[in-house]
Structures are given as structure tokens and as C-alpha cells.
Amino acid sequence: MMRGIDISNWQSGTNIPFTSVDFVICKATEGTGFVDAYCDGWVQKAKANGLCWGFYHFAGTGNAISEADWFIGNCEGYFYEGVPVLDWEGAQSVEWANDFVRRVHDMTGVWPWIYARPEYFNQGGVEANCARWVAEWPNVTSPTFDMAQTWLPSEPDGNVVAWQFCSDGYVAGCGPLDCNLYYGDAASWALYAKGDRAQVPGENLPGTVHVLEDSDYKVTIEEK
């Protein structure tokens, strides 16, 4: 199991603790006209620190194929090393989400993860090839990574690989941040990133992740 954060331009003024997490997932694009100006710098910093990393598209209100092409075109150098993700906040239909992820797979050979709340997955019919990253925040005061490791999010339809368990977390004194658990290791992360290429003999996997002390983590969240 690995501990990590997801970030976007909203954290542009924050001293992101890249040396205190196992993985980072960065916002890359949104809709068909937005590219996060901070994404590449954070991706390069994650790589320099030996972290697993990912990049996500925030679903907009446009055509799913057009948005997928915008994502692919602006993230061409990230595929097969980082994990691509669709951030699906539920405003779009299941069919929209499926059209997006299938387009990405058709063009790259990689199935993106899908980030969403359990109720969006539980509508049924969400592309089964896509791993689920569940957003669900427990009604608990000051949860920690250690506490979260003893819980599980609601079980939505599909394969749950990651859980965002709070949005007001602090890591190594830095925050507020979205805090997450990934139910795997660096080798499995690399397989998601490589997609169909993972079956090609001789493809190298990323190195091991940075192992951290539990004292590095302190998450605070107000009781809802």
C-alpha cells in the first residue's frame, strides 16, 4: 500500500512535500481549452524524487472524444510512464465517461483510471477495464494515513485501486491537500501506466518508491 496526494493549480502557492509521499497525481488538462501550467513542473519533480506519478483530465462540458483528444495531445510525453486518470465529477453521463476512456485506450493502448464518488460508479455500466479511484471522505475528526489503512471506502462497482479519503490533509506540515491510498506497489503502478505495452518483453518498470516513517504523516480534517 502506498500513500500519496493529488494536486492542481489550486496548490500553486504550496510547498508540495514531494519527499514525504510515495506518489503524486497532477492535474494536466480540463475541457478542450485548459492546460494546467504547473503540471509539468510537478511531474518532473516527482520523477526527480523517484515517485510514482499520474496525470489527470478534469471532465468538462464538451464532447467526450474532443476532450480525450485534448488530453492525449497535451500529455503525449507522459503516457507509458505515468498513470492517466479521468476526473469524473458526475456532471456527465456514464456514456460520456465511457466514450472518453475508450478513446484514450484506442489512441494509446492505456486504460485510464476513473476518479469518482461511489454513487457515480454505482449507476452501472462504467467501463469495466478502468480501475476505480474512489473519492469518499469519512465523517471523522482528524483522520490519519494510518487510520485510513484500517478502513475501506464504499465498495462501488468495479476494481478499486485507490481511495481519496480527505481533502483537507496535511503532509509534513503542508496543506491542505487531497490525501490518498493506493492499494498496490510501484510495480503494479507501472503496469497501469504501460497499459498494453506491459505485455511487451523487456519493458522496464520504475524503481522502488521512497519508504516513509509514519511520523511524516499528519492529516487534519474538520468534522462535517
Question: What domains sit in the chain, N to C, each tagged with a CATH number?
Answer: 2-219 (3.20.20.80)
Q: What is the pLDDT of residue 209?
A: 29
- What is the structure's pLDDT at 197? 87
Residues 6+ apart with CB under 8 A from 53: 23, 24, 25, 26, 43, 46, 47, 81, 82, 83
Taking alpha carbons only, the member of 206, 168, 154, 203 closest to residue 184 is: 206
Per-residue pLDDT of the chain (224 residues; tens, 9 = 90+): 999 999 999 888 788 888 899 999 999 999 999 999 999 999 999 999 999 999 999 999 999 999 999 999 999 999 999 999 999 998 999 999 999 999 999 999 999 999 999 999 999 999 999 999 999 988 777 777 887 877 777 766 778 999 999 998 888 888 889 999 999 999 999 999 999 988 654 443 333 222 223 333 333 333 33
Are 181 and 3 contacting, i.e. CB atoms less than 8 angstroms apart? Answer: yes
Name, in order, each residue with C-beta under 8 angstroms of 210's C-beta and a sequence gap of 6 or more.
19, 21, 22, 49, 50, 51
* Half-sphere exposure in the Cβ direction for 144 (13 Å, CA): 8
pLDDT at 58: 98
Q: Which string of DSSP letters, residue by residue, matches 167-207? A: EEEEETTEEEEEEEEESS-HHHHHHHHHGGGGGSTTPPPP-
Q: Which of 54, 46, 182, 26 is nearest to 112 (CA)?
A: 54
Q: What per-residue confidence (pLDDT) applies to 156?
A: 67
Residue from 77, 102, 108, 89 nearest 31 by CA: 89
Closest by CA to 1, choosing from 163, 192, 215, is: 163
Quick one: how many helices (H) and strands (E) in the chain? 6, 10
- pTM given for the model: 0.86
